[in-house]
Amino acid sequence: MIVTHGASAITPNLLILGGTTEATALCRALADTGLTGTVSFAGRVDRPVRQPLPQRVGGFGGVQGLADYLKAKKITHLIDATHPFASQMSRNAVEAALLTDTPLIALTRAPWAAQDGDNWRHVPDIAAAVAALDRPACNVLLAVGRMHLDDFAPNPQHHYLLRLVDPPKTPPPFPRHDVIVDRGPFREDSDRELMEAHEIDLVVSKNSGGTGAYAKIAAARALGLPVVMIDRPALPDRREAFDVAEVMDWLSHPGTERGV
Ligand code: NAP
C-alpha cells in the first residue's frame, strides 16, 4: 500500500490506540498489508489479545505526553481505535494530533438504537445509572466493566451478576453478587440462558455499539427485561471510520493529510 502525506509518499509509522476487537482487526489488516506501526494498550486487562503488530502498554501522561510520544517516535498517522467510552484517551488523541499536526482518524462503532420490544431507560452517565438503581432489591446484570463497580456501592440491596474480563483484584463492593470471568464476543442464546439461570430482573449496560456485547441487549429484549442504557460520552469533532476498510482507504487516499 502507498501511503501519502500531502503530495509525496512517506514511510508510514502508525500508532493505534487499542483495547477493542476493532483495533485487533485493524492491526491484522495493517500487518497483512505490510504497514508498520505500534498498538497501544492502557494496561487494564491481564491478558490482552495477542496482536500482529508490536505493542506498548500504559498511559502516555496526558495530552502533552502523547504529543511528545508522537514526535519522538515520528508517528505519521494516529488511529484511535479505543472503546467509545474511553473518552479521556479519545479527547487526548484529538488534542495531541492538533498539537503535533499528526493526521488522526477514529475507528469506532455506531451506538445501538432501540428496536421494537426494547424497554430502555436512557441515562446520560454512570452516576445517573447508579441513581436509577435506587429502587427495591432485584437481580441486576451489571455490565459496566471492572473500573466502575465501586460507583454502584450505594445500592447494596441488589444481587449483582458481574461479567468481567479478569477475576476482580479486590472483592466487589456488593454483599450479594456472582462473578463470571469471560470475554466476548457473546451469543444471544447463551446470554439468554445465563439471564434466566440467574433470574435477572434488570440489565445495566453502556451503549457500546458493535456486535460483541450486543447479545445481552438482544437477550433482554427476548426476555422482556428492562435495560438501563448508559448513553455515549460526548467527544470532540474528529474524522471517524466505522470499519477497517474505511481506515485502510483513509491511509491510502491522497486527500487525508489533515486527518482531523
Ligand atoms: P479513558 O478513561 O479514556 O483513559 C484514561 C487514561 O488511560 C488515558 O488518559 C490514558 O492515560 C490511558 N489510556 C487509555 N487508553 C489507552 C491506550 N489505548 N493506550 C495507552 N493509554 C491509554 O479509558 P478507559 O475507559 O479507562 O479505557 C481504557 C482502555 O480500555 C482503552 O484502551 C479502551 O479501548 C479499553 N476499553 C474500555 C472500555 C470502556 O468501557 N471504557 C471497554 C472496553 C475496552 P494517559 O493520559 O496517561 O495517556
The tens digit of pLDDT for each residue in 197-250 reads: 999 999 999 999 999 899 999 999 999 999 999 999 999 999 999 999 999 999
Atom 26 in ligand 1: residue holding the nearest Cα? 86
pLDDT of residue 46: 85
Return mean pLDDT, the chain: 93
In order of their start, the domains of the chain are: 3-109+234-252 (3.40.50.720), 120-230 (3.40.50.720)
Per residue in 119-134, pLDDT (tens digit) is 999 999 999 999 999 9
pLDDT of residue 259: 41
CA distance 85 to 208: 7
CA distance 216 to 208: 12
pLDDT of residue 133: 98
Ligand 1 atom having least distance to the Cα of 18: 18
Q: Are strands 14-17 and 159-164 parallel, antiparallel or unpaired?
A: unpaired
How far is the centre of ligand 1, averaged over its atoms, from the C-alpha of 87 (Å)?
8
pLDDT of residue 69: 98
In this prediction, the residues of the chain whose per-residue pLDDT falls under 70 are 1-9, 254-260
The residue assigned the cell 420490544 is 117
- pTM recorded for the entire structure: 0.93
pLDDT of residue 260: 34
Report which secondary-structure segment, H or E, holds 107: strand 104-107
Task: Write out residues with Cβ below 6 Å of ligand 1.
Answer: 17-20, 40-42, 44, 59-62, 65-66, 82-83, 85-89, 92, 145, 147, 206
Which among 260, 243, 253 has a CA at the least distance from the CA of 12? Answer: 253
Atom 12 in ligand 1: residue holding the nearest Cα? 59
Q: Which of 49, 57, 82 to probe ligand 1 with, by most ligand atoms within 8 A of CB? A: 82
Q: Which of 88, 162, 205 to probe ligand 1 with, by most ligand atoms within 8 A of CB? A: 88
Amino acid at residue number 218: A
Cβ neighbours for 139, distance < 8 A, ≥ 6 positions apart: 158, 159, 161, 198, 199, 200, 201, 202
pLDDT of residue 247: 97
**Three cell numbers, residue 250:** 483513509
CA distance 133 to 142: 11
pLDDT of residue 258: 45
CB atoms under 10 Å from CB of 192, counted, come to 20
